[in-house]
Amino acid sequence: MATLKDVARAVGLSITQASRALNDHSDVSEMTRKRVKAAACSLNYQANISARKLVTGRSGSVTKAPRRDSRELPADCLAGLLEGRPLKELQRVGPHELIIRNSTGPAPE
């Protein structure tokens, strides 16, 4: 699989310039943007999601772990996270991964 470095090399740009073109930054000309995207397509380039998460500092994950002494079920966790928030508001902040973790141990009495 091709890397961003491969795409940049193919079009004769720096990695930074190629990245800015792929991310539609306004300071990149339309012609350059098209060249970079065409090279990315022909090289079968896929963005490295892990690298993007490290650079931006945003994982896109929401984690909810009920307390060990809680009788809260996964569906209750989800309802609590979404409570009072319309779906459009959640969609506006972008894609997220929801992780609900069941705690191990004895059930509360």
How much is the pLDDT for 36?
A: 97
User: Rounded CA gap, 59 and 76, in Å?
Assistant: 23
pTM > 0.85: yes or no: no
Q: Quick one: pLDDT at residue 8? A: 97
Asked if residues 9 and 43 have their Cβ atoms less than 8 Å apart, the reply is no
pLDDT mean by block of 10 residues, the chain; 109 residues:
94 96 94 96 90 76 60 57 55 54 51
C-alpha closest to that of 52 among 10, 94, 9, 101 = 94
Identify the pLDDT of residue 57.
Answer: 79
Q: Where are the domains of the chain?
A: 4-55, 59-100
- Give the architecture (CATH level 2) of 4-55: Orthogonal Bundle (1.10)
CB 7 within 8 A of CB 43: yes
State residue 9's pLDDT score. 97
